A and B are shown apart, each in its own frame.
Chain A
Amino acid sequence: QKEVEQNSGPLSVPEGAIASLNCTYSDRGSQSFFWYRQYSGKSPELIMSIYSNGDKEDGRFTAQLNKASQYVSLLIRDSQPSDSATYLCAVTRMDTGRRALTFGSGTRLQVQP
């Protein structure tokens, strides 16, 4: 079982729709959760971070965390063609010396104009 699992996609949504991206993780000790956006050939950029159960909203983005079920999701409202990218889910725990992020393989999102 992979430590962080994501559906590779592509997930195709029409412009203006809600895109829903999901991620599950295996380490119950995970404490910090991140969504990164990566355009082709570029480095990842942080979109959202979430540390406690529930929802966290930032503009058109909402991150949702459910530690009991070990999943984290990202909702993108009013999707735009510029949102077309690969979205990487990453998790870490801060109580070990390593403190490095473990990444999923990413979900490719395509927003159709």
Chain B
Amino acid sequence: DGGITQSPKYLFRKEGQNVTLSCEQNLNHDAMYWYRQDPGQGLRLIYYSQIVNDFQKGDIAEGYSVSREKKESFPLTVTSAQKNPTAFYLCASIRQGDTGELFFGEGSRLTVL
């Protein structure tokens, strides 16, 4: 079945550590996105990528980094520079030419101890 796989689902990190969240899709979608959600809040855009080897900052990119070496993969690294990393992280994808509908992975919940 086609879909978006995020791993790990739950992750605990000590302050000062970098952590990488995985996002893989087999939908043959071109564009991929990372959102962050805090309790009781909507989703905020961290980074997005329209094509391989290219990505752009979203609204809250500070303290995060991404890569897009393959169409299927869009990993997100939460660096020690991110001051408030505890959140629910969602990866999504969309076909180019589509009218904007996003497909989401199941999410990764990061807790900083």
Q: A residues bordering B, Cβ < 8 Å?
A: 4, 6, 8, 31-32, 34, 41-46, 49, 51, 88, 90, 92, 94, 97-106
Specify which of B31, B40, B94, B104 is in contact with A44 (CB 8 Å cutoff): B104
Q: Verify A45–B100 contact, CB threshold 8 A.
A: no
Q: How far is the CB of B86 from chain A (nearest CB, A)?
A: 15
CA distance A42 to B40 in the complex (A): 13
B84 at the interface (CB under 8 A from A): no
Q: How far is the CB of B3 from chain A (nearest CB, A)?
A: 11
Interface locus among B43-51, B62-70, B75-83: B43-51
A-B contacts, 21 of them at CB < 8 A, read A8-B40, A31-B99, A32-B101, A41-B109, A42-B107, A43-B104, A44-B104, A45-B104, A46-B101, A98-B48, A99-B50, A99-B100, A100-B45, A100-B48, A100-B58, A101-B43, A102-B45, A103-B35, A104-B42, A105-B42, A106-B41
Specify which of A43, A99, A104, A105 is in contact with B90 (CB 8 Å cutoff): A43
Question: Inside 8 A of B43's CB, which chain A residues have their CB?
Answer: 44, 88, 90, 101, 103
Main SS at interface, chain B: strand
Interface size on B, residues (CB 8 A): 24
Q: Verify B42–A103 contact, CB threshold 8 A.
A: yes
CA distance A34 to B92 in the complex (A): 15
